[in-house]
Amino acid sequence: MNQPDVDVVVVGGGPAGSCAAIVAARAGLSVVLLERGPFPGSKNMYGGVVYPRILDELIPNWWEEAPIQRWVTRRSTMMLTDTQALTVDFRSEAWGKPPYNGATAFRPDWDHWLAGYAEAAGAQVLTDTTVVGLIRDAKGAVAGVRTDRPDGDLTARVVIACDGVNSFLAKEAGLYEHTDAKHFTLGVKETLSLPKEVIDERFAVRDRHGVDIEILGGTGKVNGGGFLYTGLDTLSVGVVLKLPKLAAQQQRPEQLVAGLKAHPAIAPLVQGAELKEYSAHLIPEAGLTMMPKMTTSGMLVAGDAAALCLAAGIWLEGVNFAMASGMYAGEAAVEAVQAGDVSENGLRGYQRRLSDTFVLKDHRKLRRAPELVLSDRVQHLYPGMIANVAERVFHVDNPHPKPGVRRILAQERKKAGVRRRDLLRDGWTGFRSFG
Amino acid sequence: MTIVACLKWVSHPGEPHDERFSGMSPADQSALEFALRQAEQTGTGVTAITVGPSGADKVLRDALACGATRAIRIEAPTTAAGTDVATAIADHIAEAQWVWCGDYSLDRGAGSVPAFIAAHLLAEQALGVIAAELHDGSVHATRRLDGGRRELLEVHAPAVVSVEGATARLRRAGLHSLRTAAGATIEVIAATTPIHQAEFMVRAYRPRARELPAPAGEGPLDRLRVLTDATTSSAARGEKTTLEPAEAAERIIRALRDWGYLTP
């Protein structure tokens, strides 16, 4: 093979791509980062919580300059029925101080900031450039990418595909055996504008402290969940919907968001807010079940492209997995290029790094969680049952004496139509996953 | 023959220091495309020139990636006055045969710079052009006039042509040109004359207040009709007449006074 144009080409300027480019460029490799939008982060709809501790390895004291909206110091899990809400609310002042925990952020700011580090490390960031396919050498190994620009072929020793949830490159490389709609959810988000002081008052926070509310229920007959995050002077509110159920119910996602916003527990929080943005995006939620092969000769796949998104009910994380996988992909690429072996075997360090760290350890541990969380019982039976139990426990019905909780539980289980063995089975699955 | 494309780095008014929302106006993109086409026809190169701070290098690199052969940035603040910008550019392109500009930029949009450049260079000018055809030694330009009419101009070098944004679609830069342009040399020079900050203010249009006599009419509805002209055909207030230009101007001014748009 002739001398390639560059050592590493990274496709996609998201968190995975930028971290891969930072690592490879800092190691002295020639790196091109290709982004299809006018700037990294330009097309993102994300408005969630970022857990950036993994950046400690790349950017010391990253919190001093990271473009965050608010540091999450209140974490709530809310269970909704049509008329009830049961919330577990936790807050910690420690999460509002270095080194922090999670932060709400807008990805156009976050990705642009990270890509700046890639550029500073020596990577060339080329925007408005869409990769349309792979270039292969005579042996069939990936040897570069083809872009939509004139004279648009770019050869490289290693291609790192961080091209997002639909990853056409991973599919073209044959890394996905199959894809199934049931493995994806549709995230739909509205960004609402409210003055900062109103948000502070409604959510009982101050300064740059913020709230992350994850919601079970509130999506009607469509399996999924809701979320509400506080930005500095915005709210991100939306739903995550299981695709086959959404199609079967023939409901519009914006109707479901409107329904969530109208819920008695949510409406007072968003009242008077002005809609600034509406967006939607696919999320790879099936975890290990849907993950592709991570490596082939001349190519690695990272971030959403590798389905590295953790949707395990109480843990909803993606950006940290993207940044970590990008970082490890960069390290593996450096290792392979320096060793002069970019074959699948030469790139095996990537899989090893993923397996040895939280990236795959968390996914293995929580492999049953996504299916459990999106199951019909958890979605449609348990929220009502648990909310009814809570309502009866806290309801003072004098002159009747207080009933026993165990008796209420048994009665509500029967009323909800939940079989005891199903409850035990789900409890055991939950315990094995989260325990 | 020297062909010059004058490009302005514009940024979002609300985000003046954010490089994500900055770049070349569509009109400047059209101007660059015409310059590149003319250079291809005549076998010469295009000099891209801008006046601004270091952030303006971005538009020059874009121009180089598209095929410009030389890039010059005259150091100046973002808010330089249009007359000073034109002087600074004209001083550096005295030999230019063809100068292509966008008709106005997205951020301020006064559209005065091309005219000032033409005045400095004592060049022919075709400004606000909506279509241009390149011919051997000339450019046939179409300008928009009132009433849907068009003005057809044949301009010869040296000339300044400013074009609207939809007149030509800027070619897409090749991948390797883009990579090369990122590291290309941009000549940064100082202006030969002082460049001052423009004094301008962005505000919503607000017509001048004028006194109106109390409307005549029996009841509120009648007075409202008189006040708003709601039931009066606008055609009834106009007139069609044929006059010499000086008389026509006089008649227009008189009508505007009668209607209250000009003070008596």
Interval B188-227: pLDDT, tens: 998 878 877 776 666 777 777 777 677 888 888 888 887 7
Last residue within a domain, chosen from A339, A366, A393? A366
Domain membership flag for residue A20: yes
| Interval A218-239: pLDDT, tens | 898 899 999 999 999 999 999 9
As a whole number of angstroms, the distance between CA B163 and CA B28 comes to 8
Which residues of chain A approach chain B closer than 8 Å at the C-beta? 5, 32, 38-39, 42, 108, 112, 124, 126, 129, 147, 149-154
Please state the domain count of chain A: 3
**Whether A149 and B20 lie within 8 Å, measured CB to CB:** no
Q: Is residue A325 part of a domain?
A: yes
Cβ distance of A126 and B179 shorter than 8 Å: yes
Q: Using CA atoms, how far apart are residues A117 and A428, in angstroms rounded to an integer?
A: 45
Is residue A80 one of the residues assigned to a domain?
A: no
**What pLDDT is recorded for position B236?**
60
Residue A210: inside a domain, yes or no? Answer: yes
What pLDDT, on the 0 to 100 scale, is given for residue A289?
Answer: 87
Interatomic CA distance for residues A89 and A316, integer angstroms: 16
The predicted pLDDT at position A206 comes to: 94
Query: pLDDT tens-digit profile of A241-282?
Result: 999 989 998 889 999 999 999 999 999 999 999 999 999 999
Same structural domain, A421 and A388: yes
DSSP state of B147: G
pLDDT score of A86 more than 60: yes
Q: Do A169 and A50 fall into the same domain?
A: yes
- Nearest chain A residue to B180 by CA distance is A124
Give the predicted TM-score (pTM) of the model.
0.86
Same structural domain for residues A58 and A173? yes
- The answer to whether residues A23 and A123 belong to one domain is yes
Beta-sheet pairing, B187-190 with A31-34: unpaired
Chain A partners within 8 Å of B173 (Cβ): 149-150
- Judge if A325 and A383 occupy the same domain: no
Residue A75 domain-assigned?
Answer: no
- From the list B20, B175, B182, which residue is nearest A129 (CB)? B175
Is the residue at A33 inside a domain? yes
A129 and B178: CB-CB below 8 Å?
A: yes
- Say whether both A352 and A332 belong to one domain: yes
A126/B177 touch (CB, cutoff 8 Å), yes or no: no
Q: How far apart are CA B62 and CA B70, in angstroms?
A: 12
ipTM, two decimals, is 0.84
Does B169 contact chain A (CB < 8 Å)?
no
Give contacts of A110 with chain B, Cβ < 8 Å. Answer: none
On whether both A206 and A278 belong to a single domain, the answer is yes
Instruction: Tally C-beta pairs within 8 A across A and B.
Output: 34
**At which of A266, A284, A302 does a domain end?**
A284
- Residue entry with tokens 């002209």: B229
Q: Are residues A300 and A406 in the same domain?
A: no
Give me the domains of chain B, ranges plus CATH numbers: 3-190 (3.40.50.620), 208-264 (no CATH)
The answer to whether the CB of B74 falls within 8 A of the CB of B51 is yes
A1, part of any domain: no
Q: Which domain holds residue A20?
A: 6-67+106-177+292-366
Residues A301, A200 within the same domain: no
**A137-194: per-residue pLDDT in tens?**
999 999 999 999 999 999 999 999 999 999 999 999 999 988 889 899 999 999 999 9
Q: How many CA atoms, within 13 angstroms, populate the side-chain half-sphere of residue A195?
A: 3
pLDDT over threshold 80, residue A335:
yes
Shortest CA distance from A129: residue in chain B? B175
For A41, the closest chain B residue by CA position comes to B20
- Give the CA-trace dihedral at A377, A379, A381, A382, to 10 degrees: 90
Question: Do A152 and B175 make contact, defined as CB atoms within 8 angstroms?
Answer: yes
Does one domain contain both A235 and A310? no
Whether residue A172 sits in one domain with residue A300: yes
Beta bridge partners of A301: A161
Would you call B59 an interface residue with chain A, using a CB distance cutoff of 8 Å?
A: no
Separation CA A316–CA A128 (nearest Å): 30
CB atoms A38 and B175 under 8 Å: no
Residue B67, pLDDT score:
96
CA B143 from centre of chain: 13
Average pLDDT, integer, range B109-133 = 92
Choose, out of A130, A151, A154, A276, the residue to mutate when testing the contact with B (most B CBs < 10 Å). Answer: A151
**Domain end: A284, A313, A348, which one?**
A284
Q: Cα–Cα distance between B70 and B173 in angstroms, integer?
A: 16
For residues A368-380, average pLDDT: 86
Q: Are residues A314 and A261 in the same domain?
A: no
Q: Please answer yes or no on whether B179 and A32 come within 8 Å at the CB atom.
A: yes
| Distance between A334 CA and the closest CA of chain B, angstroms | 22
Q: Which of A97-106, A355-364, B75-84 has the lowest mean pLDDT?
A: B75-84
pLDDT tens digits for range A274-307: 999 999 999 998 888 899 999 999 999 999 999 9
Asked if A32 lies within 8 A of B172 by C-beta distance, the reply is no
Out of A39, A124, A149, closest to residue B172 by CB: A149
Q: What CATH number is given to the structural domain containing A259?
A: 3.30.9.90
Q: Examine residue A305 and state whether it is found in any structural domain, yes or no.
A: yes
Residue A16 is part of a domain; what is its CATH number? 3.50.50.60
Contacts with B174 from chain A: Cβ below 8 Å: 149-152
- Say which DSSP state A3 is in: P
